[in-house]
Amino acid sequence: MTLNSCTKKLLEWYDNHQRLLPWRQEINVYHTWVSEVMSQQTVMAVVVIKFSDFIKQLPTVYDLAACDEETLRQLWSGLGYYARARNLKKGAQLIVEQLYGRFPQSYEEWLKIPGCGAYTASAIASICYHEKVACVDGNVIRVVSRLLALSDVWSKSGQSAIQAYVNNIIPAERPGDFNQAMMELGATICRKSNPLCNQCPLQEHCLAFTNNCIAQCPPKKPRRTSVNVELFALIIWHTPTDTLALVKRTKGFLAKTIGFPLISNNELLELERILDTLPKLQLLKLSKNFPHTITHHRISGKVLIVQAIEEHNDAALVLQKLGFSEYIYWIKTSNIVVKLATTLDKKVFQLFSMQSK
């Protein structure tokens, strides 16, 4: 196999088969940045829809830097991993305030932008500035591990071998197209299961295909042992106004997101002690659990409803005593669904709605 022939075939295939994605119509640094951040960990069909709405509402980096959290949350809803949106906004603020709206011009400069790791920086630098830096994401790891029939891809040396291989075959003339072609091949042809080898431009170069060991490449990633966690979501319901309290979570699971307060077993005991001193508040524990997974944590969630039948003050006091004093928002139940950014909060609200009907 000559590396050049492999690269050439890949680029020819990309020229004829690349997907028509909205950010590929013309090179625009802002669009490339937003699309790359959205595409990490979210399926492309969802990204395409959300990207268009996002750019329509926030057409420039200045709009993104100035947008309020509420708008950002709504625009990001459905994409998951909201921390990405927060970092995107932080990055926009840095570009506007410290770089006077001028985008970083190289891989090294993009690495200094919040939330921008090696993958995003190399994608933007290669696509927008034709810098010869190879992107290595999950798709690329899979393609290379199959091309070379690698049995070790997850160790440090395995990762270095993949990076070195891609660095070696990325062409100086079209680095951005090469990176996109590798990722596109992984996403559409060299798929995790049922790869379409008969349509693959690199079939004759592929050692896993030749040696009939595609299923073993890449080997399964060693898993972190999962941990079972019991978690309580607190719905503070002010019935006279039919509003629920959302807080800015500052610690633990889903920290830095806005949603229902989440408390542990120990904090539940504390909550019960607090409620003993506040007779106007009533506690109701829903019997149905909601299962949820965050990284390697397998959560068994329970919903607690604290009903406040008079003023907000007592309810707010409970939140403060539990350490949720930074931001408290009272939202009408009829408006709350659009304000919930995480799947966990949506599950909690669904159980609450079923109960309160």
We find the least distance from the C-beta atom of residue 9 to ligand SF4, in angstroms, to be 11
| Concatenated DSSP letters of 107-132 | HHHHTTSTT--HHHHHHHHHHHH---
Paired strand residues for 347: none
Q: Which residues contact 173 (CB under 8 A, 6 or more apart)?
A: none
**Which stretch in 68-76, 165-173, 199-207, 251-259 sits in contact with ligand SF4 by CB under 6 A?**
199-207
Length of the chain equals: 357
Is 297 strand, coil or helix? strand
Q: Is 162 in the site for ligand SF4 (CB under 6 A)?
A: no
Q: Is 195 in the site for ligand SF4 (CB under 6 A)?
A: yes
Please select the residue that binds ligand SF4; options are 55, 128, 202, 299, rule is CB under 6 A: 202
Q: 182 or 344, CB closer to ligand SF4?
A: 182
Q: How many residues bind ligand SF4 (CB under 6 A)?
A: 14
Give the CA distances from residue 191 to residues 6, 170, 183, 321, in Å, rounded to whole numbers and listed in that order: 19, 21, 10, 51
Please select the residue that binds ligand SF4; options are 31, 86, 146, 302, rule is CB under 6 A: 146
Query: d(Cα 107, Cα 121) in Å, to the nearest integer?
Result: 5
36 is catalytic: yes
Q: 92 or 140, CB closer to ligand SF4?
A: 140
We find the least distance from the C-beta atom of residue 180 to ligand SF4, in angstroms, to be 16
Please select the residue that binds ligand SF4; options are 200, 262, 271, 306, rule is CB under 6 A: 200
Catalytic residue (choose from 36, 108, 173, 326): 36
Q: 88 or 189, CB closer to ligand SF4?
A: 189
Residue 111: name the closest of 122, 100, 96 by CA.
122
**Which stretch in 24-32, 60-68, 75-83, 188-196 sits in contact with ligand SF4 by CB under 6 A?**
188-196
Q: 183 or 189, CB closer to ligand SF4?
A: 189
We find the least distance from the C-beta atom of residue 208 to ligand SF4, in angstroms, to be 5
Decide if 115 contacts 90 (C-beta within 8 A): yes
Please select the residue that binds ligand SF4; options are 46, 149, 197, 229, rule is CB under 6 A: 197
Query: d(Cα 134, Cα 11) in Å, to the nearest integer?
Result: 15
Q: Is 147 in the site for ligand SF4 (CB under 6 A)?
A: yes
Tokens for 110? 């993009």
Neighbour-count burial for 52-79, b at 16+ CB within 10 Å, e otherwise:
eebbeebeebeebbebeeeebbebbbeb
Please select the residue that binds ligand SF4; options are 189, 233, 235, 318, rule is CB under 6 A: 189
Please select the residue that binds ligand SF4; options are 38, 121, 214, 244, rule is CB under 6 A: 214
Tokens for 326? 């930074």
Q: Is 231 in the site for ligand SF4 (CB under 6 A)?
A: no
We find the least distance from the C-beta atom of residue 197 to ligand SF4, in angstroms, to be 3
Scanning the structure block, which residue is given the tokens 């921390």? 83
Where in 115-144 is the site for ligand SF4 (CB under 6 A)?
143
- CA 313, 316, 318, 321 dihedral sign is negative
**Which stretch in 114-122, 205-213, 235-243, 324-332 sits in contact with ligand SF4 by CB under 6 A?**
205-213
Burial of 352 (0-12, 13-18, 19+ CB in 10 A): buried
Query: d(Cα 40, Cα 54) in Å, to the nearest integer?
Result: 16
Paired strand residues for 297: 227, 294
Residue type at position 351: L
Binding stretches for ligand SF4 (CB under 6 A): 143, 146-147, 189-190, 195, 197, 200, 202-203, 206, 208-209, 214
Active site residues: 36
